[in-house]
Structure 1
Amino acid sequence: MGVADRQPASYQVDETKIVLGSSLALGGHAGYLGTQTLHGALAYIHHVNEQGGVHGRRIELIAYDDAYDPPRCVANTQKLIIQDGVFALFSYVGTPTTVKIVPLVEKARIPLVGMFTGAYALREPVNRYLVNVRASYYQETAAAVKHLAGDLGIRRLAVFYQYDAYGFDGLRGTELALRAYGLTPVARGSYIRGTLHVEEGLERIRESGAEAVVMIGTYEPCARFIREARAAGFNPVFYNVSFVGADELARRLGPDGDGVMVSQVVPPPESAEMQALLPGVSDYVRLLSRFYPDDKPNFVSLEGYINARVLVEGLERAGRGVDRESFIDAIETIRDWDIGIANTISFSPADHQGLEEVYFTCIENEAFFLITDWKAVGFLKPALPK
């Protein structure tokens, strides 16, 4: 893009501040996800501002609640771009909301950095204005199927999913992964976003005799599905993708959570071992404790924190004369950047996803342990029906 096509920097920043905008769920059935993403990001942004900001400018963030509702997210984004005149969009939460605002992003040629969603549609084809940090749902579900079918030998897998763009993405990823093992889901059950109507989907899956259930949902309906399944004597392996909100899922499940698996795209921040081994995790824990002392370290806010690290690095590299295009150019120069989480971050013009790693955790006594040896978790495999 030529200089003539660039919007003037004065439209997006001034001498003292850079203003960002976010639309995410701050209340309702996905409120935990949005709130924790925001707190993790702001913990680092507050720290940067205390150090004098970026090239002498403070970072300000305008955040609007969209309650995980796509039309509301669109309205919020229009307001951020047109009325608030923000420099960039940042830390959106959710597939059904984020995919709806892509046309606005493209028309305004405004960067959107660090979405809490693994949707394939936000990654392929590469969109210059979309900067993903986390691994995708396709990567999560492929790794999960590899372990469930390959390592544990489970052949009867079902999928429980949210009936929208998020759920469809996870369902498709699971189906593609199963195909490599000559398998298809033995059952598919769904629920409508914003409801807890899981009974029909549960019954369909229970009747299939599934040995494992891949769950593409949020913490409240997934917790209800698992509780009701256990109450009915149906105890397959329950596996959830990262968007579920692992810590909140564990809290809601209580004793029913033991043995439930969740894939993650960041290291376990509650682990004292991880905090000791990984300076990036310990820095996050320290800053979260300082700025949000009532929050416990968790996977969601750690992801928000990492998003903010990428954002600030891009601003630093772009220099004092930053505009939207030079900001994206700067992010694309990040190669093998080590922020102390054991996995480096890289971008390029042909790759707008910074991290690739997928971790697997299992709930025990409402806490998470990292699965490192799948041969040692054979107890997760249910007894085959006779």
Structure 2
Amino acid sequence: MLRRTYVLLFCCLVWLVPPAMLTGCDGGDAYEYDGYAGQGVTDSEIRLGSSLPLTGHASYLGKQTLRGALSYIKFVNENGGVHGRRIVLDARDDGYDPPRCLANTQQLMIHGNIFALFGYVGTPTTMRILPLVEEARVPLLGMFTGANGLRIPFNRYVINVRASYYQETGAAVLHLVQDLGLKRIAVFYQYDAYGFDGLTGAELVLRELGLAPVARGSYVRGTNDVTDGLKRILEERPEAVVMVGTYEPCAEFIRRADAAGLKAVFYNLSFVGGEELVRRLPHDLKSPVVLSLVVPPPTAPEAPRIMEVASDYVAHLKRFFPDEIPNAVGLEGYINALVLVEGLRRAGPDLTREGFIDAIETISNFSLGGATEISFSPEDHQGMESVFFSVLRDGRFELVDDFRAVLAESDTAGQGGAASADQGGAQ
């Protein structure tokens, strides 16, 4: 009884306090939404809520994820919706800031009359809302993050589509060591849940190979201050650097490390945002830059062979967002929306949250065209397992089938070298 009183008081405060004033909420506590406003389903609409960075240093990732998803949602709505209901997405900007994401989600749950949460972007932001999701039993689907904490322990209300960061970093480290023969590997990471996830994934695989990072360097989320992390890594002369960050600080690190004379393979996770990373790098880099992806670049010649829906994404993006350039981030958002709609269709016209999750769990060997399929089950809420690799060539990332091709045009292997950190360009 006492807890219900506290919960009621909290809900009343949230009703009275504007969203901007809720950013101090901790997120470590779970709340019961006894007076929840509704289930977000009417005869004509299905309402979804999303919080993602639409401004700030990760805004490219948020905007492309959102526009990719909306490209498919708009197409579905034009063709009658799902069982006669249009999908309405209430997307709110969190600037890649966990407290803002938490406040947005609280507002969506209490006042937004939403059926489910969809299309969140980022590990530190999405991880912050997990207690709310579990307590309110609201489905959370299609996040642009490979965080292990969204997969273990298993949560019935969390539905991942993409491969995990452990899978990305694990596959990359195996290639670096076994295919390229590199042993001196450093890790540069964002100092938060996202960076720790990538760091742990790299360390686990290195340990299995009898190795450990020769250096670890980090930076603070929301900044481009890579000086300390760069210095730590340059001192150890690595042959490869596993990079777990966003496009601006990672580009700053690569540019300064290259200028300082470090010859190494710079490997980046998919979350970095490849297109924006390239835009910030010089054209005369001396070392290869590698990017892992969980979907192929949509305009790559190989894309239709891997997943034919890449062509649908390109066509729908051109129709609904004609000024946008197709990219892998947007394709992920598009596939997330495709899974969402398939689940809604299977759930039938009498839509409930539990019925929706049951429907998602029936999706098995669901073809995206080409060689890619999506499968879920009551014990497994991650739909795809694939990891692809691409290398930067002539101002764009190109898929590579043989990882050894990474060094085909480089003399990097075995030549790790470093100058002092303050020689690495602008501070």
TM range (shorter): over 0.9
Q: CA deviation at 1:383?
A: 3.5
**Separation in 2, partners of 1:51, 1:251:** 37
Q: Is the 8 A contact 1:118 1:136 kept in 2?
A: yes
Does residue 382 of structure 1 match 2:378?
no
Q: CA deviation at 1:343?
A: 1.3
**Aligned residue type for 2:351:** V
Which position in structure 2 is the counterpart of 1:136?
A: 164
**Aligned residue type for 2:251:** A
CA RMSD of aligned residues (A): 1.8
Give structure 2 stretches of 5+ with no counterpart.
Answer: 1-34, 418-427
**What secondary structure sits across from 1:38 in the alignment?**
helix
Which position in structure 2 is the counterpart of 1:253?
A: 281
Which position in structure 1 is the counterpart of 2:316?
A: 287
**Separation in 2, partners of 1:375, 1:203:** 28
Which position in structure 2 is the counterpart of 1:369?
A: 398
**What secondary structure sits across from 1:63 in the alignment?**
strand
Q: Higher helix share goes to which structure?
A: 1
Which position in structure 1 is the counterpart of 2:270?
A: 242
TM-score, scaled to structure 1 = 0.95
Give structure 1 stretches of 5+ with no counterpart.
Answer: 1-6
Given the alignment, which residue of 386, 395, 401 partners 1:357?
Answer: 386
**What secondary structure sits across from 2:398 in the alignment?**
strand
**Aligned residue type for 2:51:** S
Please list the CA deviations of residues 236-271 of structure 1 after superposition, one character each: whole Å capped at 9, or x if unmatched: 110001000111111111415672100000012121
**What secondary structure sits across from 2:198 in the alignment?**
helix
Given the alignment, which residue of 279, 294, 297 partners 2:326?
Answer: 297
Q: CA deviation at 1:275?
A: 4.0
Q: Is the 8 A contact 1:267 1:341 kept in 2?
A: no
**Separation in 2, partners of 1:60, 1:261:** 37
Does residue 346 of structure 1 match 2:380?
no
Q: Is the 8 A contact 1:12 1:323 kept in 2?
A: no
**Separation in 2, partners of 1:351, 1:9:** 30
Q: Which has the larger radius of gyration?
A: 2
Given the alignment, which residue of 107, 111, 115 partners 2:135?
Answer: 107
Does residue 35 of structure 1 match 2:35?
no
**What secondary structure sits across from 2:280 in the alignment?**
helix
Does residue 320 of structure 1 match 2:349?
yes
Which position in structure 2 is the counterpart of 1:15?
A: 43
Q: Is the 8 A contact 1:254 1:365 kept in 2?
A: no
Which position in structure 2 is the counterpart of 1:266?
A: 295
TM-score, scaled to structure 2 = 0.86
Q: CA deviation at 1:316?
A: 0.1
Please list the CA deviations of residues 281-313 of structure 1 after superposition, one character each: whole Å capped at 9, or x if unmatched: 111110011111111110100000000000000
Q: Mean alpha-carbon deviation: is it higher for 248-257 or for 35-44? A: 248-257
Size of the aligned set, in residue pairs, is 381
Which position in structure 2 is the counterpart of 1:198?
A: 226
Q: CA deviation at 1:24?
A: 0.1
Q: Mean alpha-carbon deviation: is it higher for 212-221 or for 368-377? A: 368-377
**What secondary structure sits across from 1:213 in the alignment?**
strand
Which position in structure 1 is the counterpart of 2:126?
A: 98
Does residue 126 of structure 1 match 2:126?
no
Does residue 228 of structure 1 match 2:256?
yes
